[in-house]
């Protein structure tokens, strides 16, 4: 039976600001000093200090008494945690929230748990993921942009500092098994090689086991794949192999092995598939299945309208919501496309939809593994749809080769793309779809991934289940939640406090707010405890403050990466104001009616920017990809490279269309993992 030790309270001043204080008793099981003894820890200091030896040491062993330090375990009844985040998927993608793409796994979790319709990302991959695993804002965690765009400022250097231990590290040191599957986009680009260093790889950030790829995307047929830090090639000789299934298989194997070895040890998994980030690489079986459903034959305008009506019927958006107009000046309406363009675009979206449905199916297999082992009842599942809105980086026409965009091949005509129609989505292509579909998949909102000032870029959705705890099955929650709130929620659910010190380094405050209170039916309609939140991505920014949303007007589409950047992104903006308490879709700009509120929120954004390392604001895009940063292969760049870097940095003031890039590849481009 557990023995209760004295009470303590982990409430360091720095953590009080994060609203994370815990009072719990140390739980000890077994005979103290015996090999089977276990204990929970205060968690204030990680790793836990070595306890004083409790045995007796004489000159010979017969007169001595051995003593074993108790094994560290999580608090009793701490749940398994399965944290799932998909890639580049907007609000209107899954059937769970009114989309036409079948996502039965997500539907099932929603029916057994809760739906959330006000869950916010940062508008981009690496930044959202850094916030997700640290509980700190993306600039605080060094990820103001993706790692490939890092610059030498604290908010943008792509380095998660030692004073911001990840949820993996915290749970690991408190007795959990921890693993990470899939995309790892929080390793600095200059550390993403076999040279290392590996402290910013998943295994260096508290995840005992890693199976996935390092970077923003991967060929799902032949990925640049690692087990821990060793490159592996499970696809060799297996032409039908696909990473979406491969990582599910590996996760199921991992769960089974941990359970067989220690059935009582809780498991934490971050499950981050590459879907639905480009390249869209589903299996033929799923493409055929989606094609037979004829979901998209009437085009993206009709898809948007149909999704909007579905969302109202499901009740996942307010019935009074308005749909913003189609952007005719940005994207050609469906009925103005040629027959060839329509045929191509339908092929593009069917492959995307197959990728999403395939991914959801494989996620279901991982969840089933917990069920098969009898562990699902005490498993907290957090399934987040998208780390940002749907990607429009394929441009208005889509592309058979996403990489071609970075080599200056943009807006390839439909008749040229049709050469790859029959192999679209296979290993012969590295595809992306028309941005018209992306706009539709962000319904009921507008704009895309990268657009941090529009809900289409930042308003995700999520389902959560925990059968042993959540009883309000199938209900909807509308509280404002940001990805930084996930870490404090997991900590509260497990009964583990945020540490004050890790490896001798005082920890920065957790910046998120637990949403565990929303699990209870009595709190279904209480106001959100997360009151204020900034958003900023490449010079576009917004501020949420208790229902108000101050936004900068979009001044750049995501595929416009090489143009002249805004020289003063803090002030050189058109400001828009929305009351999200009555305007769910951000469709009614009331800035002209409330100039004082606009001024107030602009000042508040500056205070947030100073607090969370957002300055200096930088609206450049392509220029930052070639900005000087530490280099994997050389201590310093050559003089000619420095000159070209310097020239490209001037893109803040002029176009960077002449940025140094390789010659456009001969299409189709096949991205193949190569041995290091």
**99 & 31 share domain:** no
Please report the pLDDT score of residue 633 as a whole number: 72
Q: Taking residues 326-350, what's their average pLDDT?
A: 98
Q: What is the pLDDT of residues 534-571, one digit of tens each?
A: 999 999 999 999 999 999 999 999 999 888 999 999 99
Query: Which CATH number is 469's domain given?
Result: 3.40.720.10
Q: How confident is the model at residue 24 (pLDDT cuts 50, 70, 90)?
A: low
Q: What is the pLDDT of residues 253-298, one digit of tens each?
A: 999 999 999 999 999 999 999 999 999 999 999 999 999 999 999 9
Kindly state whether residue 359 falls inside one of the protein's structural domains: yes
Please report the pLDDT score of residue 17 as a whole number: 35
DSSP strand E in 302-400: where? 379-385
Q: Taking residues 178-205, what's their average pLDDT?
A: 96
Stronger pLDDT, 657 or 287, i.e. the higher one: 287
Instruction: State yes or no: pLDDT of 419 exceeds 70.
Output: yes
**61 & 187 share domain:** no
**36 & 178 share domain:** no
Kindly state whether residue 173 falls inside one of the protein's structural domains: yes
| Cβ atoms of residues 412 and 400 within 8 Å | yes
Q: Which of 523, 539, 568 is the last residue of a domain?
A: 523
Kindly state whether residue 94 falls inside one of the protein's structural domains: yes
**395 & 511 share domain:** yes
* Interstrand relation of 459-465 and 71-72 (parallel, antiparallel or unpaired): unpaired
Q: Taking residues 425-446, what's their average pLDDT?
A: 98
Please report the pLDDT score of residue 589 as a whole number: 98
Please report the pLDDT score of residue 313 as a whole number: 98
| Cβ atoms of residues 112 and 391 within 8 Å | no
Pair of tokens at residue 288: 């055929």
Q: Which of 41, 72, 103 is the last residue of a domain?
A: 72
Kindly state whether residue 597 falls inside one of the protein's structural domains: no
Average model confidence (pLDDT) for the chain? 91
Which residues, other chains included, contact 88 with Cβ-Cβ below 8 Å and sequence gap of 6+? 125, 276, 277, 278, 386, 387, 388, 389, 390, 391, 449
Q: Which of 496, 523, 550 is the last residue of a domain?
A: 523
| Cβ atoms of residues 105 and 367 within 8 Å | yes
**41 & 134 share domain:** no
Q: What is the pLDDT of residues 588-643, one digit of tens each?
A: 999 999 999 999 999 999 999 999 999 999 999 999 988 999 987 755 444 444 33
**267 & 381 share domain:** yes
Kindly state whether residue 244 falls inside one of the protein's structural domains: yes
Stronger pLDDT, 658 or 231, i.e. the higher one: 231
Q: Which pTM does this prediction carry?
A: 0.91
CA 171, CA 74: separation in Å to the nearest integer? Answer: 8
Instruction: State yes or no: pLDDT of 372 exceeds 60.
Output: yes
Q: How many structural domains compose the chain? A: 2
Instruction: State yes or no: pLDDT of 18 exceeds 50.
Output: no
Which residues, other chains included, contact 18 with Cβ-Cβ below 8 Å and sequence gap of 6+? 135, 488, 498, 509, 510, 511, 512, 513
**353 & 471 share domain:** yes
Kindly state whether residue 662 falls inside one of the protein's structural domains: no
Boundaries of domain holding 154: 80-523
Which residue has 């940001």 as its token pair? 482
Kindly state whether residue 615 falls inside one of the protein's structural domains: no
Instruction: State yes or no: pLDDT of 384 exceeds 60.
Output: yes
Please report the pLDDT score of residue 403 as a whole number: 86
**22 & 135 share domain:** no
Kindly state whether residue 21 falls inside one of the protein's structural domains: yes
CA 261, CA 265: separation in Å to the nearest integer? Answer: 9
**427 & 443 share domain:** yes
Q: How confident is the model at residue 391 (pLDDT cuts 50, 70, 90)?
A: very high
**117 & 68 share domain:** no
Instruction: State yes or no: pLDDT of 166 exceeds 80.
Output: yes
**450 & 356 share domain:** yes
**120 & 11 share domain:** no
Please report the pLDDT score of residue 634 as a whole number: 57
């Amino acid at each position: 039976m557990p023995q209760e030790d004295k009470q303590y309270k982990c409430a360091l001043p720095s953590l009080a600001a994060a609203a994370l204080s815990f009072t719990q008793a140390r739980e000890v099981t077994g005979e103290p000093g015996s090999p089977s003894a276990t204990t929970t820890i205060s968690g204030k200091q990680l790793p836990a200090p070595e306890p004083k030896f409790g045995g007796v040491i004489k000159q010979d062993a017969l007169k001595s008494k051995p003593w074993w330090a108790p094994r560290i375990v999580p608090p009793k009844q701490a749940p398994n945690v399965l944290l799932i985040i998909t890639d580049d998927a907007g609000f209107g993608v899954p059937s769970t929230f009114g989309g036409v793409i079948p996502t039965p796994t997500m539907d099932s979790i929603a029916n057994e748990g809760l739906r959330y319709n006000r869950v916010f990302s940062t508008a981009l991959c690496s930044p959202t993921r850094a916030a997700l695993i640290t509980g700190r804002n993306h600039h605080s965690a060094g990820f103001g942009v993706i790692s490939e765009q890092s610059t030498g400022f604290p908010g943008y250097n792509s380095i998660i500092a030692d004073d911001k231990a990840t949820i993996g590290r915290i749970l690991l040191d408190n007795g959990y098994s921890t693993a990470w599957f899939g995309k790892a986009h929080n390793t600095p680009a200059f550390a993403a090689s076999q040279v290392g260093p590996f402290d910013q790889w998943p295994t260096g950030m508290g995840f005992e086991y890693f199976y996935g790829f390092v970077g923003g995307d991967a060929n799902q047929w032949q990925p640049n794949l690692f087990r821990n830090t060793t490159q592996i090639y499970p696809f060799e000789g297996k032409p039908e192999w696909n990473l979406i299934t491969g990582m599910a298989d590996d996760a199921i194997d991992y769960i089974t092995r941990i359970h067989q070895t220690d059935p009582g040890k809780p498991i934490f998994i971050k499950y981050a598939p590459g879907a639905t980030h480009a390249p869209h690489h589903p299996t033929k079986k799923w493409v055929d299945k989606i094609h037979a459903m004829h979901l998209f034959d009437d085009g993206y305008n009709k898809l948007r309208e149909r999704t909007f009506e579905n969302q109202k019927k499901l009740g996942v958006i307010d019935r009074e919501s308005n749909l913003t107009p189609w952007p005719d000046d940005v994207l050609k309406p469906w009925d103005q496309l040629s027959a060839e363009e329509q045929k191509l675009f339908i092929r593009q979206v069917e492959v995307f939809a197959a990728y999403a449905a395939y991914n959801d199916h494989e996620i279901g297999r991982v969840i089933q593994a917990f069920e098969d082992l009898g562990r699902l009842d005490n498993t907290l599942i957090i399934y987040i749809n998208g780390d940002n809105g749907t990607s429009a980086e394929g441009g208005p026409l889509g592309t058979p080769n996403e990489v071609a965009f970075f080599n200056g091949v943009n807006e390839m005509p439909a008749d040229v793309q049709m050469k790859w129609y029959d192999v679209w989505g296979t290993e012969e292509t590295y595809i992306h779809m028309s941005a018209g579909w992306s706009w539709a998949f962000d319904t009921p909102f507008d704009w895309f991934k990268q657009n941090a000032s529009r809900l289409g870029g930042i308003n995700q959705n999520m389902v959560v289940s925990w059968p042993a705890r959540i009883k309000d099955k199938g209900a909807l929650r509308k509280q404002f939640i940001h990805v930084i709130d996930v870490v404090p929620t997991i900590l509260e659910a497990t009964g583990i406090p945020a540490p004050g010190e890790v490896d001798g380094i005082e920890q920065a405050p957790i910046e998120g707010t637990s949403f565990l209170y929303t699990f209870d039916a009595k709190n279904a309609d209480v106001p959100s405890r997360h009151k204020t939140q900034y958003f900023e991505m490449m010079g576009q920014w917004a501020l949420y403050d208790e229902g108000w949303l101050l936004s900068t007007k979009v001044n750049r589409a995501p595929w416009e990466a090489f143009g002249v950047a805004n020289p003063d992104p803090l002030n050189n903006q058109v400001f828009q104001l929305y009351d999200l308490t009555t305007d769910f879709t951000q469709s009614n700009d009331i800035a002209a009616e409330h100039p004082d509120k606009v001024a107030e929120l602009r000042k508040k954004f500056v205070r947030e920017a100073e607090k969370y390392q957002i300055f200096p604001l930088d609206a450049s895009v392509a220029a930052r990809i070639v900005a000087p940063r530490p280099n994997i292969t050389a201590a310093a760049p050559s003089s000619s490279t420095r000159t070209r870097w310097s020239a490209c940095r001037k893109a803040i003031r002029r176009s960077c269309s002449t940025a140094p890039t390789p010659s456009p590849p001969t299409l189709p481009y096949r991205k193949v993992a190569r041995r290091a």
